[in-house]
Structure 1
């Protein structure tokens, strides 16, 4: 996509319109198999174009894996799937160096993480040691094996699913791992009409297999680059920082959002603005994304946990008490 400066308002506005059209095309394609969950679909796409990663937590059978597969099928790019189990090893994810007798040297055999879209299914069923194998690649987009770095392709998105932590056989993700995810969302049960449509249709697996690709990896890379150039006014920067700072001093939170959370919120807000056909971010974009981007990064105090105070509820109170700035 063509580079522009902010004073060339006609050009960024036109490019934002093209971004929005392709974004809606992808969302509509995924919705062919994920009925009645437009918000979850759009949040997943925002993660893709913000170069973040998505964690989907929900009870079994609500479409977590189907959403990830539909997203991968909609983009003509490489994708891999990792089924996390208690006996999974870190090398099963990243790959391993094997000695080649013919060439008398070690050769790296890449694991399933070397793909554009990686589905990490039931990530909290593996041991913490195996979960940590994703830490480096999610942050730095490379894997180091035997002191040799191996970059993963671009775009790169990890879509991880997990069952609620109170279910049998699960290992809670550590805070450092949770912080690597741009968003955590829940798909939830479909409404009555959508569930009837699911029952009338074919099994979701068959539908995903027939889902057409409506974008190429190069298209996605261009959209990612465009989103990084969406204009952000100073009052919006101040709003993001003030919101994250407020979580660090809240009496019901033991740990607030780090600067990584601020950066994640900014990246996501830029994509949301572009998806709406705008070349500038509104404070409403930030407010709409605050809970899915920040809530999983917050750690409640023991007293708040006993009173069933949720991180999303704390963010809701902060957002309600913080007036929206007037962006220039």
Structure 2
């Protein structure tokens, strides 16, 4: 463990910072405290920087902050217990293009220290991919709405896929209600599993966002905090499609005049449809007949949460899992080789 005296600032391009072993538990960078530590654990101020195979914790603001540079790769990281966002992409210059956050675990031990956080908050970010990550307890002490995965401020063409979210207050958001039209355009949210037993708000929301597809996600939501819906599109300038999602709460596709369409969603899911709902294992069991073989093919969704091809049966299954292929045990997050 390295107890840092200051932020690790990377100002030269084509730099890789990683542990020698490839095991992220072997090297820990500690920023000194969620409220008293210095601002960030790592600050990226150059293009083509890779941060991999590390544990980053106790930053006063962020675990990793990207100041508008292109092609950052954040891979196989454990980022936890920071003062503000675990990962922040700032709207510096013309924004950050073609970033990757993958195969990482991001969490709070309990909650953030204040009512201001996100798992990742990305402003003016273009063609970023957030995939194959696990997110735990991204929430504030006062249950203030704070999306776990938030892309906004003119972000475009974001891909969010194969993530597992557990007991986060909010989930995945393109755009923000405090902004105006054009907050996000394009993008796909697919094959994510979301489980909440703690109080929660809506877990997928499209706000001031256009041209999006939210497809084949599974959300089991057991403790709604004043909401009767689990996914939403909001405001008249918002346009996109919810397709073949599996959840146990309503999908509000036209909140406040939004132009969201719904295709083949199943909103009466039950805990008994899943392998081990209490452990957030939302793979289907054979009795989930309302979801199995019930989806038409979508060109944007050719695989499932485990990276297995769709369909396996007569047709694709609704939700994130294609029944019949489940990794052994409970280690079921798909971890492909890093691409850069």
TM-score bracket, shorter-length normalisation: under 0.3
Q: Indicate the structure with greater strand content.
A: 2
In our comparison, the structure showing a higher alpha carbon Rg is 1
Q: Indicate the structure with greater helix content.
A: 1
